[in-house]
């Protein structure tokens, strides 16, 4: 994976890496004319949102560039809480966008007429967590509890995302997979697994990155002893490896459906938390 994907957007000392990442992307002029680029690029795909993550991080770096040098070295400086939330919200938007695209692509290519949606409802492993279903419910939860809940959801996806990447890669490399899994309308292309694999790899990396950011936010917000919210174990791996195609495709569908659902929840929770904590609910 390239330096672009490995850039640490949570630390001030990463500013040079972020600038380098934009150059690696082949967009050096973006540093001077980013408003025009952002408004003219295709805002439906991953590249747009990835650039948005990097540009936002660079702007945040520039905002603190005039601050005095850290007295005990750069690693002792903390990024202000408001900036951490800005970066977390942008990153959660990016993850949700990729999750939705990946689900839609899989659904369009492989599940036409199979009725998997009826099996996916309430079938998510994170359903065991007491996540609020709407904004009104979320507003009733203490901000520290909701922060820890977000972190628990993110951590609960580490193992499923790892296995998703592994199994999608195997699906792509298996001879005859497209012919055996696709409908007549979708045969004759290897593009769908490539697209899904690329997005799965990116989401896995970014999910870990967002969890790291949540840990830093919680460190600044939480009072008293730090607690670790338990998270449920995912038990769906065997279903991704069964020989029966309908069962295996249903397992993929359910996993991607749950990922899209949870990434949307996290995105909404973070926007609410930013409003509550940074703007004292005046937004």
* Nearest CA among 179, 164, 180, 175 for reference residue 241: 164
Cα–Cα distance, 176 to 229 (Å, whole number) = 44
**How far is the CA of 79 from the CAs of 14, 36, 76, in angstroms?**
11, 28, 10
**SS3 call for 124:** coil
Q: Is 267 annotated as a binding residue?
A: yes
Instruction: Decide if 151 contacts 214 (C-beta within 8 A).
Output: yes
d(CA 186, CA 181): 9
How far from each other are the two terminal CA atoms of the chain, in whole angstroms? 38
Name 100's Cβ contacts closer than 8 Å, sequence gap at least 6: 260, 263, 264
> With contact defined as beta carbons under 8 Å apart, do 151 and 229 qualify?
yes
Maximum alpha-carbon separation in the chain: 65
Q: Which residues contact 172 (CB under 8 A, 6 or more apart)?
A: 190, 193, 194, 197
Task: Using alpha carbons only, give the angle 110, 116, 118 rounded to the nearest 5 degrees.
Answer: 160
* Two tokens, residue 126: 């994170």
Contacts of 282 (CB under 8 A, 6+ apart): 275
Yes or no: say if 246 and 99 are a contact pair by the CB < 8 Å rule: no
**Residue list, annotated binding site:** 267
Binding residues for Zn(2+): 267
């Amino acid at each position: 994976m390239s330096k672009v994907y490995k850039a640490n957007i949570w630390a001030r000392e990463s500013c040079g890496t972020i600038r380098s990442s934009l150059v690696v992307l082949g967009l050096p002029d973006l540093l001077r004319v980013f408003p025009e680029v952002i408004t003219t690029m295709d805002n439906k795909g991953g590249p747009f949102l990835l650039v948005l993550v990097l540009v936002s991080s660079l702007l945040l770096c520039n905002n603190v560039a005039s601050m005095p040098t850290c007295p005990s070295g750069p690693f002792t400086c903390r990024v202000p809480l408001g900036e951490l939330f800005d970066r977390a919200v942008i990153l959660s938007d990016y993850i949700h966008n990729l999750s939705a695209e990946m689900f839609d692509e899989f659904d369009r290519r492989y599940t036409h007429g199979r009725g998997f949606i009826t099996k996916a409802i309430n079938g998510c492993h994170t359903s065991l967590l007491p996540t609020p279903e709407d904004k009104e419910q979320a507003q009733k939860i203490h901000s520290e509890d909701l922060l820890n809940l977000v972190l628990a959801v993110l951590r609960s996806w580490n193992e499923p995302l790892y296995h998703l990447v592994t199994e999608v890669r195997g699906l792509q490399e298996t001879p005859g997979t497209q012919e055996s899994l696709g409908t007549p309308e979708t045969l004759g292309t290897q593009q769908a697994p490539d697209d899904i694999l690329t997005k799965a790899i990116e989401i896995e990396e970014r999910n870990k990155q967002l969890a790291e950011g949540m840990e830093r936010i919680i460190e600044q917000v939480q009072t008293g002893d730090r607690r670790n919210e338990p998270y449920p174990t995912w038990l769906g791996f065997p279903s991704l490896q069964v020989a029966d195609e309908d069962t295996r495709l249903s397992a993929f569908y359910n996993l991607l459906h749950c990922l899209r659902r949870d990434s949307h929840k996290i995105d909404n929770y973070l926007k609410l938390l930013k409003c509550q904590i940074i703007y004292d609910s005046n937004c």
